[in-house]
Amino acid sequence: MLSANQRIPRRTGGSLQPVLPLVCETIPSSEEERSQYISFELRARVGAPDASTKYKKYVRKFEEGTPQMWIDLVKDMTEIWTQNSMAGGTDRASTARALIRGKSLTAFEAALQLARTGADGIEAAITPENVATSLAAVAETVFPHRALETQKLWMNRSMFKPRAMTTRLTSAVMSRINNALPLFPTGVDTSKFTEPELVGLLEWSLPPAWREKFDLKGYIPSEFSRTRLVTECEAIERHLRPDDGNSNNKTTEKTKSPKKRGRGENSNTRGDRNSGNKKTKFFCTEHGNNPTHPTSECWTLKNRDRENSGSNKSRPNNSNRSFSNKSFRKELHLLSKKSSKKEVLDLYAGAIQKE
């Protein structure tokens, strides 16, 4: 007897997880994996005679696989039944027994026996409806709880276009997932999204920056077809740089860090640098609260006092000073503030001649 954990798949906790994601899981190919496939010869034309053209189809066996693997198996069996005109329930059941293995086969046989047994306890002949009912019973053990509702809820709320996937490919994958919804437990043909709903799902799976461009352009995707939306997105994709982000929840603009100012740019630089999270231990009348020095040890005040006290008079006579462009430029600037330009030029001409 199967335990509950083996018969009923558990739902994963946390955020909303899809049953069929946009990016499918790849199955590795190896020698052991090749033994898991069965070859079928199918007619190229439905209803053609046995001597007509045929082609081979390799179908992977199913044994406690994923929902995606089960959907692929159901589609492959439908193709086999259609191409070879297998309308009888016995032939369809034989194909299912050849492809289903392990505990899934046990569930299939139990459901098939229950479906073909009447109220009087007599087993009737296998019909295609009995096979469909048995396959639906196996799907109940493969899919998680409320799989159809969870998948549609994820597509409405949490489906976003991957950065490495183009919009055209995203639209194709959405169509594939939408066509697979009737194969979910309790799924029917009306479980699929309509075409206007698919346009809305694709629009809101795009990055916010793309939708802003639609607004600036005056383009409303819901008023047009999905083909027009894919065309508009491809125009944006052609002009994207490789380093441009495609994130849906974060902006692609990078904030620039402010440049560090040097010591000589501003007299308040030291005060600004020390006034962050550092503790202020000293007070200076020139620089305020700071962690480095008090007023008595401030070099700015000491140099100012030295200049005011006339300590520079101990130097030789001013006539022996060297004449430099820098000092000459400073003197020119001071004289031009209180005199006219003509008088200053005359003074400069005399100073140059004297020098």
Highest mean pLDDT among 33-42, 250-259, 263-272, 344-353: 33-42
Rounded distance, CA 28 to CA 86, Å?
32
> ∠ CA 153-159-160 to the nearest 5 degrees?
165
Overall average pLDDT of the 22-36 stretch: 72
**Whether residue 62 is found in the same domain as residue 115:** yes
Enclosing domain of residue 281: 269-310
Amino acid sitting at position 179: N
**Whether residue 130 is found in the same domain as residue 153:** no
Which helix (H) or strand (E) segment is 227 a member of?
A: helix 226-238
Half-sphere exposure of 141 (CA within 13 A, CB side): 23
Work out the number of other CB atoms within 10 angstroms of the CB of residue 58.
11
Q: Position of tokens 């060297």? A: 322
pTM: 0.62
CB–CB of 18/159 below 8 Å?
A: yes
CB–CB of 217/223 below 8 Å?
A: no
> Is residue 117 in a domain?
yes
**Whether residue 273 is found in the same domain as residue 184:** no
- Greatest C-alpha distance within the chain: 135
Token pair listed for 344: 């200053």
> Is residue 262 in a domain?
no
Q: How many domains does the chain have?
A: 4
**Whether residue 157 is found in the same domain as residue 135:** no
Rounded distance, CA 5 to CA 103, Å?
12
Interval 290-329: pLDDT, tens: 888 888 888 888 888 887 776 555 554 554 555 566 777 7
Position 244 confidence tier, pLDDT thresholds 50, 70, 90: low
Rounded distance, CA 338 to CA 77, Å?
102
List, as one string, the DSSP characters of 177-211: HHHHGGGSTT--GGGSPPHHHHHHHHHTTS-HHHH
Rounded distance, CA 212 to CA 11, Å?
36
CB–CB of 54/43 below 8 Å?
A: yes
> Is residue 12 in a domain?
no
Q: What are phi and psi of 11, to 5 degrees?
A: -85, 145
Position 168 confidence tier, pLDDT thresholds 50, 70, 90: very high
**Whether residue 182 is found in the same domain as residue 133:** no
**Whether residue 45 is found in the same domain as residue 123:** yes
